[in-house]
Structures are given as C-alpha cells and as structure tokens.
Structure 1
Amino acid sequence: MPRGGLSGSFSTPRVDVLIDMGNPLLNITVDGFLKIGAVAATRVAAEDAYHAFKRGSLSGDKIEHSLKKMCKEGAYWGTVAGVYAGMEYGVERIRGTRDWIVMDAITGSAIATAAEFINYLT
C-alpha cells in the first residue's frame, strides 16, 4: 500500500543573549527576565503605536508615557519570567530529574502569582 507523508521542520528566528553571571541559576534567571521583559516592552510599544496611529496624533507626553509603560511592563513580566525560570531550574537541579508534576506545580503557582500581582497593580 503506497504511503505519503511530509517531512521537515519549522523553526523560528532565535535570539540568544549570553550573559555570564558566574552561576547557571543566575544565568537562566537573567535570561528569562531579559527575553520576556523585551517581549512585554515590545507589546506595549506596538499597542501604543497602534493607538497613536488610530488617533492620528502624537505628542511628547504620549511618547514619555509609552516609554514609562514599556519599562514598567517589561520589568513586571521579566521579573515573573525570571523567577519562574530560576525556580524551574533550581528544582530540577535539586531533585536531579525533570518531573512534570513538579513543573506543573511551579507553572500553576507562577500563573497564580502573576494574576495576584496584576490584580494588585490594577
């Protein structure tokens, strides 16, 4: 019986920043902070650019507000991501194995913490 199939792989552009803090735990934590912080700041920039385009006006105050919002959101989400990445790595190193139950528990607690953190901010 003849068979058909598809073989290949999909990949996305990958950006890695190497910052050596002298400790793998710190390296992973800082990496998570920088990557997710940059994503959050980019999201705010795109959202504010869309709103400025939609309004048809741009002022110095709006740009300053957008920059402050970018830094704030980047720091918030970067912190959550850094803590998550550090906790995941730390637990994996302590236990000596990668356990899905423990990782799911850390993920659930990270989501709950992020939700409480965001709820506190608003």
Structure 2
Amino acid sequence: MPRSRFAGTLSTPCVDVAIDMGNPLLNLTVDGFLKIGAVAATRAAAEDVFHIVKKGSISKHDCEHTLKKMCKEGAYWGAVAGVYVGMEYGMERVRGTRDWKNALMGGALTGALVSAASNNNTDKVVISAITGGAIATAAEFIGYLT
C-alpha cells in the first residue's frame, strides 16, 4: 500500500515514502531509485536556475533544457542508487548478516556494473569497483557515528 508523509522543520525536513511491490528487494530498489533520483533532479534544477538567474533572462529553450537535464540526471543517479541498494540487500540475504561488509561488496559490484555499462576498459572497471566499495563503506561507517 503506497503511503507518503512530509514532516519536519525548515532545518530538518523528513520525507517518507513506502512502496510495496510485494518483494523486499524490489521495495528497497524502487525506494532508492525514487529518493536519489529526486535529489539528483533537484540538484540539476537548482544548478540551471543559478545559471538562468546569472544570465538574467529565461527562454523556452532554457526550460526544455532544464527539464531534460533533470530527467537524465534523476534517471542516472536513481538507477545507480537502485542497483546499489539491491546489491547491498542481496549481500545481506546471501550472507545472512547485516554489517559493513555488505556495503563494501554492494558498492564494489555497483561501481563495476555502472563502469562496465559505460565503457569496456578493464582498468576503469576495477578502479570504479574499488571506488564504489570505498564510498559505500565510508558512508556505512559514518552512519554508525550518527
């Protein structure tokens, strides 16, 4: 059952959306896609608004360009987040435990998959896997601090 809620103050907004696809893996993947995709689309919009304000005028072309950029960025980063969340959940299910190693392996697999989809250079794929694993693990450890 879909539900949504928005609550918070100016300094701490909280958005909670629950999607029920009938499978926990799909639920988490779609949730990650939607949340990170929305953040990426908002960032793209804010960046373009800055450039439009700096230019001092707006045209129909500017609006079309901004909308296309929002969709492209939202879809790309949403897909990356969805793959990562799915990989991390998959690692948790396979290993039977929930710890930082799931984030490490999920990040590494996501980095490798995203890199392999965009180029065929083996060195770049390995570097992206290392980077993805490092970022995911760092985020997991930062989450333990808060």
Which residue of structure 1 lines up, in the alignment, with residue 28 of structure 2? 28
> Taking structure 1 as the reference length, what is the TM-score of the superposition?
0.79
Larger RCO (CA within 8 A; separation ≥ 6): 1
Cα 1:20–1:94, aligned 2, differ >3 Å: closer, same or farther? same
Residue 107 of structure 1 deviates from its aligned partner by 1.5
1:34-59 residue CA offsets vs partner (Å, 9 max, x unmatched): 00000000000000000000000100
Aligned length: 110
Q: Is the 8 A contact 2:52 2:58 kept in 1?
A: yes
Counterpart CA distance in 1 for 2:43 and 2:110 is 21
Which residue of structure 2 lines up, in the alignment, with residue 8 of structure 1? none
Which residue of structure 2 lines up, in the alignment, with residue 44 of structure 1? 44
Q: Which is worse superposed, 84-93 or 35-44?
A: 84-93
Give aligned-pair identity as a percent: 66
Counterpart CA distance in 2 for 1:52 and 1:119 is 33
Q: Is the 8 A contact 2:88 2:105 kept in 1?
A: no
Cα 1:52–1:116, aligned 2, differ >3 Å: closer, same or farther? farther
Residue 112 of structure 1 deviates from its aligned partner by 4.8
Which residue of structure 2 lines up, in the alignment, with residue 100 of structure 1? 100
Which residue of structure 1 lines up, in the alignment, with residue 85 of structure 2? 85
1:52-93 residue CA offsets vs partner (Å, 9 max, x unmatched): 000001000110011011001100000000010011111101
In the alignment, structure 2 segments of 5+ residues that lack a partner are: 1-10, 121-146
Cα 1:78–1:112, aligned 2, differ >3 Å: closer, same or farther? same
Counterpart CA distance in 2 for 1:16 and 1:118 is 32
* Richer in strand (by share): 2
Which residue of structure 2 lines up, in the alignment, with residue 64 of structure 1? 64
Alignment RMSD, CA only? 2.2
